[in-house]
């Protein structure tokens, strides 16, 4: 039996170097070109008819698919171990299409983790609920509560993040997947913070995995995109929705995302190593009240983290609370940073800092944020690939009292 390639090798090779079956013996580009075409033609109308009818593989209209995007989709399918993927215009579009696919033939009810990216919560409350979808929330790290809510609400799907934004909670994906399967519900997992290098949710029983491709996968702050990878039961449903509503990622963005993914494993490993050093530094700093980081042996989800995540890779996110800090104190700290970039994103090669109160969770009320554990002094760092000494020095000088 042929041995499966390592994920680092898949990231470099999968999706690329496809021979055009219509031109045997022709040259093959070593990387997939950018196919900037809205439509595609064939030698005969009969062949176009077969392609349009999906009786023969091929490309006909860019809303349906595109060769550059298809290469990216093949790549992420291999990385996540799914049956098919869809490249979308943003991570939020990926979540929307994933939810629509999960609920298409199921009860219009979502059970969501109570710790999610703020825009995801806004989508559930401001888009899905007004269209008649029931939305309920649960502490996804309380397995008994998840079991009780699934039995009570009978959701069509359950939505969670592998590693929650921004407080880094980790639910037991495999056990929750078993509950969903028994209840006939689909499990959707946002794997943005972890990437398939740390966790592959489909292998743990999830049905659909989504990513913001803008973040760690592309990794250079120059792509807005999202990715959906599905199991065999949902891949065609996702594709059917996409052919109708047209959420697809453009060929140029697909090319950039694919180029970024080739080095994502190398980057993320370096980022994880740097983040460990940053978390250790902040844990002993007199101006820091608390540090949230997955390697902390006292993390409330330590058992799940050690069981589900790749050993030794704890992610690149470090969230911490400035001691006795109000908004102006956080602003002052952020404005003093020189190496760490103030940006409303993460996963780039450069380290970034974000204040959830004004960015990722801005649309939530102070009480909602407080219930989630996001305080006035909560700051989220995503550590990049810079020299660790430079990152630590920058944080140290910014934390010094006036």
Tell me if 6 is assigned to some domain: no
| Residues 184 and 282 reside in one and the same domain | no
**What is the rounded CA–CA span in Å between residue 60 and residue 38?**
8
Last residue of one domain, picked from the residues 261, 281, 299:
261
Query: Per the structure, how many domains does the chain have?
Result: 2
123 & 252 share domain: yes
Q: 44-97 pLDDT, tens per residue?
A: 999 999 999 999 999 999 999 999 999 999 999 999 999 999 999 999 999 999
| Residue 49 lies inside a defined structural domain of this protein | no
pLDDT classification of 372: cutoffs 50, 70, 90: confident
Using a 10 angstrom Cβ sphere, with 0-12 exposed, 13-18 middle and 19 or more buried, the burial of residue 59 is: middle
Q: Is the peptide bond before 346 cis (omega within 30 degrees of 0)?
A: no
Query: Is 205 contained in some domain?
Result: yes
> Which two three-digit tokens encode residue 242?
């996409």
Residue 31 included in any domain: no
| Same-domain check for residues 286 and 181 | no
pLDDT score of 2: 59
Contact of 371 with 115, CB cutoff 8 Å = no
| 206 and 180 assigned to the same domain | yes
Which CATH number does the domain housing residue 117 bear? 3.40.640.10
CATH number at residue 282: 3.90.1150.10
Which DSSP state fits 131? Answer: G
Q: Give residue 4's pLDDT band: very low, low, confident or very high (50, 70, 90).
A: confident
CA gap 93, 87 in Å, rounded = 10
Residue 272 belongs to a domain: yes
In degrees and rounded to multiples of 5, residue 87 shows phi and psi of -90, 125
* Sheet arrangement for strand 226-230: 84-88, 226-230, 208-212, 186-190, 157-161, 109-113, 134-138
pLDDT of residue 1 exceeding 50, the answer is no
Cα separation values, 146 from 113, 121, 168, 205, Å: 9, 18, 18, 16
Q: Which residues have a Cβ under 8 Å from the Cβ of 169 and sit 6 or more positions away?
A: 115, 140, 141, 163, 300, 301
d(CA 190, CA 248): 18
DSSP of 174-209 = HHHHHHHHHHT-EEEEE-TTTHHHH--GGGGT-SEE
Task: Give domain status of residue 1, yes or no.
Answer: no
Average pLDDT over residues 357-385: 87
pLDDT digits (tens, 9 = 90+) for 257-288: 999 999 999 999 999 999 999 999 999 999 99
Q: Do 136 and 153 form a contact (C-beta atoms < 8 A)?
A: yes
Q: Same structural domain for residues 240 and 148? A: yes
- 59 three-state secondary structure: coil
Q: Are 280 and 390 members of one domain?
A: yes
Range of the domain at 129: 82-261
Q: How many CB atoms are closer than 10 A to CB 401?
A: 5
The yes-or-no verdict on residue 353 having pLDDT over 60 is: yes
**Which residue, of 211, 237, 261, is where some domain finishes?**
261
Answer yes or no: is pLDDT of 402 > 90.
no
* Residue 318 resides in a domain: yes
Nearest to 142 by CA among 301, 263, 322, 280: 301
Question: Quick check: 206 pLDDT over 90?
Answer: yes
pLDDT at 22: 62
What's the first-to-final CA gap in the chain, in angstroms?
64
Q: How far is it, in rounded angstroms, from Cα 74 to Cα 68?
A: 10
CB 115 within 8 A of CB 161: yes
Angstrom distance (rounded) from CA 239 to CA 226: 14
Residues 6 or more apart in contact with residue 53 via CB below 8 angstroms: none
Asked if 278 and 181 sit in the same domain, the reply is no
Say if residue 256 is in the same domain as residue 269: no
Residue 290: strand, helix, or coil:
strand
Predicted local distance difference test score (pLDDT) of residue 186? 98
Of the residues 211, 239, 261, which one is the last residue of a structural domain?
261
- Mean pLDDT across the stretch 318-331? 95
pLDDT value at residue 19:
72
Assess whether 270 and 249 both reside in one domain. no
Tens digit of pLDDT for each residue in 146-186?
999 999 999 999 999 999 999 999 999 999 999 999 999 99
My answer on whether 249 and 170 are in the same domain is yes
Same domain, 280 and 349: yes
Q: Look at residue 306 and tell me if it is in a domain.
A: yes
Task: For residues 323 and 234, state if they share a domain.
Answer: no
């Amino acid at each position: 039996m042929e041995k499966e390639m390592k994920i680092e090798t898949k990231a470099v090779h999968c999706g690329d170097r496809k021979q055009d079956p219509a031109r045997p013996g022709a040259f093959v580009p070593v990387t997939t070109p950018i196919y900037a075409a809205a439509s595609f033609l064939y030698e005969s109308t009969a062949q176009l008819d077969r392609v349009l009818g999906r009786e023969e593989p091929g490309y006909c209209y860019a809303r349906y698919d595109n060769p550059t995007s298809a290469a990216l989709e093949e790549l992420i399918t291999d990385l996540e171990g799914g049956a098919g993927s869809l490249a979308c215009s943003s991570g939020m579009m990926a979540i929307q299409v994933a939810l629509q696919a999960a609920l298409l033939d199921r009860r219009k009810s979502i059970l969501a983790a109570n710790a999610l990216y703020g825009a995801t919560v806004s989508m559930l409350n401001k888009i899905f609920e007004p269209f008649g979808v029931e939305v309920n929330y649960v502490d996804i790290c309380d397995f008994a509560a998840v079991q009780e809510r699934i039995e009570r609400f009978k959701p069509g799907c359950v939505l969670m993040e592998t590693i929650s934004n921004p407080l880094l909670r980790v639910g037991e994906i495999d056990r929750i997947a078993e509950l969903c399967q028994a209840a006939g519900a689909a499990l959707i997992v946002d794997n943005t913070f972890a990437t398939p290098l740390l966790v592959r949710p489909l292998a743990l029983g999830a049905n659909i995995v989504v990513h913001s491709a803008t973040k760690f996968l592309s990794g250079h702050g120059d792509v807005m995109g999202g990715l959906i990878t599905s199991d065999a039961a949902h891949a065609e449903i996702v594709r059917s929705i996409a052919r109708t509503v047209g959420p697809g990622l453009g060929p140029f963005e697909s090319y950039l995302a694919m180029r970024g993914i080739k080095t994502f494993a190398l980057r993320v490993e370096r980022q994880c190593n740097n983040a460990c050093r940053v978390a250790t530094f902040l844990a002993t700093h007199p101006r820091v009240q608390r540090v949230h980081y997955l390697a902390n042996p006292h993390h409330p989800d330590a058992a799940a983290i050690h069981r589900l995540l790749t050993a030794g890779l704890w992610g690149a996110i470090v969230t911490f609370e400035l001691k006795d800090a109000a908004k102006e104190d956080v602003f002052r700290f952020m404005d003093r940073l020189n190496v760490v970039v103030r940006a409303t994103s993460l996963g780039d090669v450069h380290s970034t800092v974000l204040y959830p109160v004004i960015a990722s969770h801005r649309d939530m009320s102070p009480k909602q944020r407080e219930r989630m554990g996001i305080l006035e002094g909560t700051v989220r760092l995503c550590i990049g690939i810079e020299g660790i000494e430079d990152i630590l020095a920058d944080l140290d000088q910014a934390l010094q009292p006036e």
